[in-house]
Structures are given as structure tokens and as C-alpha cells.
Amino acid sequence: MSGPIIVDSVAALRAQIREWRQTGLRVAMVPTMGALHDGHISLVRTALERAERCLVSIFVNPAQFAPTEDLDKYPRQLARDLDRLREAGAHLAFTPTVAEMYPAGFATKISVGGPSSGLETDFRPAFFDGVATVVTKLFLQAAPDCAVFGEKDYQQLCVVRQLCRDLNLPVEIIDAPTVRDSHGLAMSSRNAYLSEAELDVARKLNAVLRQTAAELASGANETSSTSAATDALVRAGFRKVDYVAAREAVTLAPWRRDRDGRLLAAVWLGTTRLIDNVEIPRA
């Protein structure tokens, strides 16, 4: 097949979506920051199961990076991304410039409370404001019927669901499971920063989380289990552990054994920050 249509303006995006909608085609969106890996491709596959047309946005959103973070070194590889989208059968790639998304004088910010409290926000205070603002813009630019988000960024998934509910954004949010390598390491564009030695350590994160979640599900004390998990991660070679925390699965409120739970973690290897999460089955 010939590969996705590529548009970089909101006007061209809307014209194409309108054409599809007029012929009755359902449109699914996969918002990304590019540097596409198998995790993203699985989101595209989910999108194609749910709709006749799949639109993938590729936009490294400055609003969700703090000044100290990796905006400048974040991997950008558009040609390779477009090859992967062609292979996956995506129909449209939306690749706006920063000026198209945030024209001179741009001044609006969306803040979602609830599930954005704590976890990532304790370490990246402006991150979810940036996510909520760009996701709202992308949804209003493209007006998709549904959008697919990965469980890899679990707190983001919860924040986007809350955002759509609160603002009455008429977009169905579909979650897709995290794609992992054969050692359990969650696919992430930031894995590209890791050395071979760091990769060996990174591959231990998911095992520690799975074991801790199993202990919690079997009645272990929450504080001692998450604290033991932090110790185990440091012993495994992670430089720093931002958090290992059990939460209620939908609201991300404090975990309760009688509700579906989620165990979430953020850790550092050198200058690279990795996140992962696993289910805690209810008692």
C-alpha cells in the first residue's frame, strides 16, 4: 500500500476527516510524540479494529516538558515513523509544527485535578497540564470518534478519561495493553537512551512490580511492600526511585483492597527516567 496521507495543517486535517465522515467512515486517533516503536504500532492495530480510518498525530509537545527535561534530545525520526505507519496500515499522519499548534499569543491552559494528583505530578508538576491542553486541541482539530491510549502511561490514560468526561469531549477513549520485550521491559521511546548495561537493569523493573502486586493482592502490608520494592529496585541497579505506589485503578485515589488496583512506578537509570505499572487484582 502507498502509505499514510501526510498533513501538517489543521485545515488540511479537517478537510480529510470531513471527507471520511461524509462517506460514513468511523475515525480512530492515536496521538503520539513520534519515535514510534512496537507499542505505538499496537495502538494503531487497536485503532484499526475499532474504526475504518486511523489517524496518527506525531507532535513532540513542548508544553509537557519542563525546562530541565529532554525536549531537545527527544528522538525525532519522521521518515522512519512514516515507514512504520505505512507497514501498520495507518491512513493519515498529522505532523504539525509547534507554530501550528501554539501560534504567537497562545495563552490557554487546561488543568485536570483528580487522577493527576501525585505520582508523576509530584515530579513533573506541569506535565499533565501540557498533556490535557494538547490532547484537547488534537481532539478539537481532528474530531475523531475514538482515540487509543496505552496503559504504559497509565496515569495519563486516567487523566485523559477524566478530561473527556469533565469537558464533554465527544471522543471515546480506548485503552491498549503495554507492549513489552521478551524480558518484560515496556516499550518506550526513552529506551533508546539506555546503554546495554542499563537495559539489563531496566528489564528488572516489571518483575519487581509484578511480584509486589502479587504480594499486595495476597494481603501484604501496603507500606512495607512498596518500600521493599523500592529497596529491590535500588539493589537491582536503578539510580533513583521516584515512587512505587498502589492506587485505586480508575480514580488513582489511595488503594483499597476491595477495588481494582494499580501499582505504578517511576525510576531512573543514569539520566533516563522510566515508568511502568501493573494491575493489582482485587481481593
Task: Give 64 or 225: the residue with its C-beta nearer to its own copies.
Answer: 64
Binding of its own copies at residue 104 (CB under 8 A)? no
Catalytic residue, chosen from 27, 28, 30, 40, is 40
Question: Which of positions 167-226 make contact with its own copies (CB under 8 A)?
Answer: 167-170
And the C-alpha cell for 157?
Answer: 490514560
Minimum CB distance to its own copies smaller for 105 or for 219: 105
For residues 82 and 77, give the distance between their C-alpha atoms in angstroms, rounded to a whole number: 9
Question: Which of 59-67, 166-174, 177-185, 236-244 is the region at the interface with its own copies (rule: CB under 8 A)?
Answer: 166-174
Choose the stretch contacting its own copies; rule: CB under 8 A; options: 28-36, 68-76, 137-145, 218-226: 137-145
- Residue 65 CB, nearest distance to its own copies (Å)? 19
Is 140 a binder of its own copies (CB under 8 A)? yes
Rounded-to-integer distance, Cα 169 and Cα 93, Å: 22
Q: Is 227 a residue that touches its own copies (CB under 8 A)?
A: no
CA–CA gap between residue 83 and residue 81 (Å, rounded) = 5
Residue 166 interacts with its own copies (CB under 8 A): yes or no: yes
Stretch that binds its own copies, among 101-109, 172-180, 206-214, 228-236 (CB under 8 A): 101-109
114 binds its own copies (CB under 8 A): yes
Residue 40: active-site member: yes
C-alpha cell at 43: 495502538
Bridge partner list, 5: 92
Residue 272 to residue 237: CA distance in whole angstroms: 13
Question: Which residue positions form the known binding site for beta-alanine?
Answer: 64
251 counts as binding its own copies under rule CB under 8 A: yes
Residues 6+ apart with CB under 8 A from 187: 37, 38, 39, 40, 152, 178, 179, 180, 181
Q: At what angle do helices 78-88 and 38-50 cross, to 10 degrees?
A: 40
Binding test (CB under 8 A) with its own copies, winner from 15, 66, 111, 224? 111
- What Å distances lie between residue 225 and 94, 219, 257, 260, CA to CA? 44, 10, 14, 17
Burial-class residue 218 by CB neighbours within 10 Å (0-12, 13-18, 19+): exposed
63 binds its own copies (CB under 8 A): no
Tell me: does residue 112 bind its own copies (CB under 8 A): yes
The residue ranges that bind its own copies (CB under 8 A) are: 10, 14, 103, 105-114, 132-133, 136-137, 140-141, 143, 162-163, 165-170, 251
Catalytically annotated residues: 40
